[in-house]
Amino acid sequence: MEAGIANAQKSPTLFWALATADQTLGVSVSDVPGCQITLPHTGHYLITGVFDFWVIGAGDAAQNLIGELVNVGSGAIEASQALFAGDDNNRGTVSNVWPVLNVTGSTSYKLRVRKAGGTGTSRVMTSHTKIAAQWSPN
């Protein structure tokens, strides 16, 4: 995926969307702007979430910054998370891959973020944050 490609691009088997704005993290979950895709085919998918986290403020040092994948229709959160913890002003790009089985078509997924605690203003940045899904019919 290269810079300048419009959001929600797709090929016959690959679907992706890029973040459209930075998001400040709170302890409550929030959506990553622009990082939602609709999976049009019945089958199985590998969904990858990439999160560009930036620790801002000593109060967020060593706090987990958390990226999640959620089914938009059901609200179900996939089991594993992408995690980053660092010192003040540390930045890290982390990812996770979720196997999503038996999708029935026209199912939407999105990325959400939060932090475990802290008093800083850490963010997920637009630069490298994205969601991508690879489809398999079986």
pLDDT at 136: 87
Provide the pLDDT confidence category of residue 9 given band limits of 50, 70 and 90: low
pLDDT in tens, 63-89: 999 999 999 999 999 989 999 999 999
Kindly report the pTM of this predicted structure: 0.90
The fraction of the chain above a pLDDT of 90, given in percent, is: 83
Torsion angle of alpha carbons 106, 41, 18, 91, nearest 10°? 100
pLDDT at residue number 105: 80
**What is the structure's pLDDT at 2?**
40
Per-residue pLDDT of 10-30, as tens digits, reads 567 899 999 999 999 999 999
Query: What mean pLDDT do residues 93-120 have?
Result: 95
The first and second tokens of residue 40, run together, are 């049009």
Asked if residues 61 and 55 have their Cβ atoms less than 8 Å apart, the reply is yes
- Please state the rounded mean pLDDT for residues 103-115: 94
* Number of Cβ atoms within 10 Å of the Cβ of 68: 21
Catalogue all structural domains in the chain, each as residue range(s) with its CATH number. 14-136 (2.60.120.40)
What's the whole-number average pLDDT of the chain?
91
Q: Residue 1: what pLDDT?
A: 38
Task: Assign 3-class secondary structure to the chain.
Answer: CCCCCCCCEECCCEEEEECCCCEECCCCCEEEEEEEEEECCEEEEEEEEEEEEECCCHHHCCCCEEEEEEECCCCCECCCCEEECCCCCCEEEEEEEEEEEEEECCEEEEEEEEECCCCCCCEEEEEEEEEEEEEECC
What is the predicted pLDDT for the residue at 77?
A: 94
Largest CA distance in the chain: 48
- Let me know: does 112 contact 19? Beta carbons within 8 Å: no
Q: What mean pLDDT comes out for the span 90-108?
A: 94
